[in-house]
Structure 1
Amino acid sequence: MSRRTLDVIPKHRLLRRTLYGLLLAAPLLPGGMACGVKECEHGAPFLSGGPLARLPDGSLPENPSCETCPDQDAPLAYCLATTTSTGDAELRCTYYTCSNDGRRPEGLREPRGAGPADALGALFAHAAWLEAASVPAFLRLADELKAHSAPEVLVRAARRSAGDEVRHTRVMQALAQRHGATMPEVDLPPFEPRSLEEMLRENAVEGCVRETFGAFVAGWQGRTAEDPEVRSTLRAIARDEVRHAELAWAVDAWAHTRLSAAQREHLHQARLDALRSLGEEVERHQPPEPWIHGAGLPSREQARALFQGLAGLTA
């Protein structure tokens, strides 16, 4: 395949300049690799799932059920048995925040059930699930762009993005399996026909905001993860995710030629609303230590810096 065929979407210069500037500043941002384990573990996003019965020998169960974990706005990541300060056995439930990789399709149902005890396995399995869910999202985008007579360059880019996500799913599944975790099934109802404005609103929210932020996070992980396999995997994924974000912004630019002034304003407001919602997630973002060190996930202070870079593109 020629380079001309591959480079179907013009580079978004401001997006790339913003991302590269953030990554170059990575060692200088607060909460970097000098963060100690004790400091990073403080305030990890967990809740109690209630008391647990010990095994007959007095030990803690290795793979407890997560069914008693309380419902939260953030999806459940994993649960494990711990001992409280009084010596009682308790279920500790950890939740995802800033979980924005990929393009979530309409109607996607969040998986819930007994998660693996390995924190990294849970994270990689969830990432693989998000990548898998992005495949039908991009195929739907390609079909809808074609139906609305969008430039063929956008249709081809959307189909190529679906192929990228198939590859991303496989490599993230491999990382999850290395940590004893299995990717959940993607539970997605059949798509219904929708208007051009509805399609563009999803692109504004899932593409221009959340997928662009996901590209920033993947780029960060590809630079800071201590595990060399994770670093190389996320570095490759980040390159693709930047192109996916550029596709979202290219679709958004094309939309301005098809919408009325009032519709364009609605689209802009949808981006701002999505940005505000994401900012609230960033403020709740307090990843456990293994996610910061082993997977390179940004700390809350680092996520704030990435978010501010995104805000400069979206406002």
Structure 2
Amino acid sequence: MLTTTPRRELARPLAALFAALLASCTERDVPGTSDTATTTDATTTDSPHTGTSHAEPTTDAPGTSSTSPSTTSVPGTSTTIDTNDPGECIYEDHVIVLTPEAYDAWLHGMGEVGTTGTTGTTGDTGTGTTSDSSTDTGTSTTGDTSTGTSTGDTGATDTTGALEWSSELCNQICDALTSAEAWNIVSCDKTSVDADGTVTILCVEIVQNCDGRSHACITSRGALAHADPVAAYLARAAHDEAASVYAFTTLAGELAAHGAPAELLARILAAAADELRHAEAVARLVAARGGRCRPPQRRPIAARSLRELAIENASEGCVRETWAALLAAHQAEHAADPQLRAVMRGIAADEARHAELAWAIDAWLDTRVDADTRSEIAAARANMAAAVLASVAADSPANALVREAGVPGRARAMQLAAGLADALWAA
């Protein structure tokens, strides 16, 4: 029989808690904020990476301090963290400078001649410049491609009269000349062409995921640039659902090695089967919108201790997965797209059980670790909860995501996250 400590037992099924949270925010709003993005249209985005605008919040998020914008705290706790830590999307800029000869060689399929490049981490919004200025090209290296030729436009031919410039060619160059992982490239653009024909390319790679449960064995990210922000959102979701299959099956093996009860292991494997269905269902939604999905990539990992597993589960399961489950419940009620809403209804019910599973894993692990490790687990959970609150406060989803996909706007998301923090994470 699975045993839990009273401190870890959920007071009620999460589906009931989610329903209460959703009902409580239906008729109220946060003063000074809007439930939909006011600066982002369905056809334009502030960032090419995620289809969302990362606007600064106009009001303080619940549980955050207006005097320290780089830190936030969990309601009911004294924990504060750097909000640039876990929970934020992190992108890395790879700048490639091609001489006219090198550019012409690539257009003719002959590869590299006279190429230089720099890389730099942009931070959580992916809109910064490279931090390495050792290569002076005399050109801007920002993510703004308004002065260059977008890779999405494959109808324009290059001035050399050679092959057409394309996103595929840009990605090939980025893959060959930088350290970027091919599947993690979210955008690649020709940002400028100097008078002498020198070409500067900006390739952006996502190096840290943003939400949902992850696992140490997963090495890929699902983000894709797409003109339709809903298609881009669903493509990433399909990747993450498929990655969760590996995450759960690997976790089951790890916990089995530590003597986890058969009941718990059976629930984990059942969750993996659920995630496979989710991945297939969401992939069909992506295909219907003309998008494509990236398959998850994984790696073998060394055996991990109960401490490592417990800390990961506290962050990824008790916080990220629980928050993602609440978001799914919101989408199941509010998505205007009938097909998407129907899919999310099935997913939401499963994800609520998966979140409960994370807390059940937490309860079993709590019986197997010492007091110092329990403190570490609690800190990891609090840190991730604070990161989620900060991320929600800083993000304004595109109107299309709010309207068609049922993603909560910033004001409503802040209410939901704060309510979840009060009910679970601060306990």
1:93-126 CA-to-partner distances (Å, cap 9, x unmatched) read 9x9x99423x211153344886332221111110
SS in 2 for 1:174: helix
SS in 1 for 2:144: strand
Q: 1:279 to 1:113 in 2, by over 3 A?
A: closer
SS in 2 for 1:13: coil
- Equivalence for 1:120: 230
SS in 1 for 2:266: helix
Shift of 1:146: 1.7
Instruction: Please give the TM-score of this superposition, normalised by the length of structure 2.
Output: 0.59
Q: Structure 2 stretches of 5 or more lacking a match?
A: 1-8, 47-52, 55-124, 128-142, 158-163, 175-179, 191-201
Aligned partner of 1:22: which letter? L
CA contact (8 A) 2:221 2:236 kept: no
Could you tell me how far apart the structure 1 residues matched to 2:341 and 2:308 are? 36
Aligned partner of 2:290: which letter? G
CA contact (8 A) 1:217 1:297 kept: yes
- Equivalence for 2:247: 137
Aligned partner of 1:282: which letter? V
Query: Is 1:24 the counterpart of 2:120 in the alignment?
Result: no
Pairwise mapping of residues 179-218 of structure 1 onto structure 2 (< 5 A)? Answer: 179-218=289-328
- Equivalence for 1:15: 14
**Stretch moving more, 213-222 or 188-197:** 188-197
Q: Which has the higher contact order (CA 8 A, sep 6+)?
A: 2
Aligned CA-pair RMSD: 3.6
**More helix, by proportion:** 1
CA contact (8 A) 1:125 1:182 kept: yes
Shift of 1:52: 2.7
Aligned partner of 2:425: which letter? T
- Equivalence for 1:169: 279
Aligned partner of 2:357: which letter? L
Query: Is 1:52 the counterpart of 2:163 in the alignment?
Result: no
Could you tell me how far apart the structure 2 residues matched to 1:181 and 1:268 are? 40
- Equivalence for 2:211: 100
SS in 1 for 2:26: helix
How many residues align structurally? 288
Shift of 1:134: 0.5
Could you tell me how far apart the structure 1 residues matched to 2:272 and 2:11 are? 20
Aligned partner of 1:308: which letter? A
Instruction: Please give the TM-score of this superposition, normalised by the length of structure 1.
Output: 0.79
Q: 1:145 to 1:109 in 2, by over 3 A?
A: closer
- Equivalence for 2:59: none
CA contact (8 A) 1:125 1:176 kept: yes
Shift of 1:310: 2.1
Shift of 1:200: 1.1
Pairing partner for 1:152 from 262, 265, 281: 262
- Equivalence for 2:349: 239
Could you tell me how far apart the structure 2 residues matched to 1:216 and 1:12 are? 17
- Equivalence for 1:86: none
Shift of 1:265: 0.9
Could you tell me how far apart the structure 1 residues matched to 2:411 and 2:282 are? 26
Shift of 1:29: 4.0
1:63-115 CA-to-partner distances (Å, cap 9, x unmatched) read 857869xx9xxx9867999xxxxxxxxx9x9x9x99423x2111533448863
1:217-242 CA-to-partner distances (Å, cap 9, x unmatched) read 00001111111111111111010000
Shift of 1:256: 1.9
CA contact (8 A) 1:78 1:117 kept: no
